[in-house]
Amino acid sequence: MRRLNRKKTLNLMKELDAFPKVPESYVETSASGGTVSLIAFTTIAFLTIMEFMVYRDTWMKYEYEVDKDFTSKLRINIDITVAMRCQYVGADVLDLAETMVASADGLIYEPVPFELTPQQKELQRMLQLIQSRLQEEHSLQDVIFKSAFKSASTALPPREDNSLQSPDACRIHGHLYVNKVAGNFHITVGKAIPHPRGHAHLAALVSHESYNFSHRIDHLSFGELIPGIINPLDGTEKIASDHNQMFQYFITVVPTKLHTYKISAETHQFSVTERERVINHAAGSHGVSGIFMKYDISSLMVTVTEEHMPFWQFLVRLCGIIGGIFSTTGILHGFGRFVAEIIFCRFRLGSYRSASVPLPDGHTSNHLPLITDNSTH
């Protein structure tokens, strides 16, 4: 009984075989089939390599949600060089809550020459080139996110000692912590002093002829400082055409959580719009000479996550490639043989067409003559 059950089971399994085996003596090979097989195997190998490269690559996924964190402080990282002496300029922040952040909390005033060294100029040109490419190809931002903490620092290299250049500019660098509300970071003439109704700058002792707000923004970012991240204003340089000139930057800050296979950090992206004009009260252009960065915090938060193709999806795509190529090449090869057989059959029929045979009554016959045993001898 057990043997009968085993035989029935084996017979049932044989009937369910979806891959019938053909004896080798019944298999006919051809040169065309070998050529098509070679092309198919080459295509499979090429597409498999390309699919493996896609499997190894990663992409950035963007998700948006409402930012519910409104009690924490926002860090502003600053590195700006102004073409005026340090005793003539002052920097501070004033937000919508009328809270002034004193410059002594985290900013350093360092006398430096405004002219860059050749090595610093080379890095600045590289930053400006990257900024122009980022404006044209936004997908490069994903590459920058994935290379954070791995790429070289975007900070300018230290200046080489040169006694011939006197410090005619002021480098203002450091960081500040402000409230997460809209505010205005500005650099203008005179040191900032607290005032019960706001704030003021001691600009009375500085002559208008010494005003020069030509500046270079080596770095400006919000949130955690991440090496390798290039911000929209990094490498910006503006040259003032007049003593009384105002430079304005309108910035929209977007809180961003960055999660890659290398880092996990909370930073901030921002977009910026620039404007500059000459202060001329007689012509109706009012204002204060200086550099003004008016920022606003977006209510949306972006979560940027680096994702990778799952291994099971890679196997499914790979099986689809192999099976699809085998099926497609088999169909094309069969169709090609069918067309070739039709053409060759017509050619053979044309070659066996007989010449006209004269009949006794003077007519001709175009029919093929009968082949008899005597005619074969």
10 Å Cβ neighbour count for 198?
9
For residue 175, the cross-strand partners are 77
Q: Is 6 exposed, middle or buried (0-12, 13-18, 19+ CB in 10 A)?
A: exposed
pLDDT of residue 376: 44
pLDDT in tens, the chain (377 residues): 666 677 777 777 777 666 666 666 666 667 777 787 888 888 889 988 998 888 888 888 888 898 888 788 888 999 999 999 888 888 888 887 666 665 456 788 989 888 888 888 888 888 888 878 777 776 667 777 766 655 555 566 565 555 466 788 999 998 888 888 888 898 888 777 766 666 667 666 777 777 889 999 988 999 888 877 888 888 889 998 888 889 999 999 999 888 888 778 888 888 899 998 888 777 777 778 889 999 999 988 999 888 888 889 889 999 998 888 888 888 887 887 778 778 777 666 665 555 455 555 555 555 545 444 544 44
Alpha carbons 182 and 96: distance in angstroms, whole number: 6
Give phi and psi for 168, each to the nearest 5.
-105, 5
Residue 262, amino acid? K
Tally of CB atoms within 10 A around 267: 22
Contacts for 292 with CB less than 8 Å, ≥ 6 apart: 184, 185, 186, 188, 246, 247, 248, 249
Residue 358 confidence (pLDDT) = 55
- Containing H/E element for 35? helix 31-56
Is the pTM for the entire model greater than 0.75?
Answer: no
- Report the distance separating Cα 66 and Cα 278, nearest Å: 39
Q: Do 299 and 262 meet the contact criterion of CB atoms below 8 Å apart?
A: no
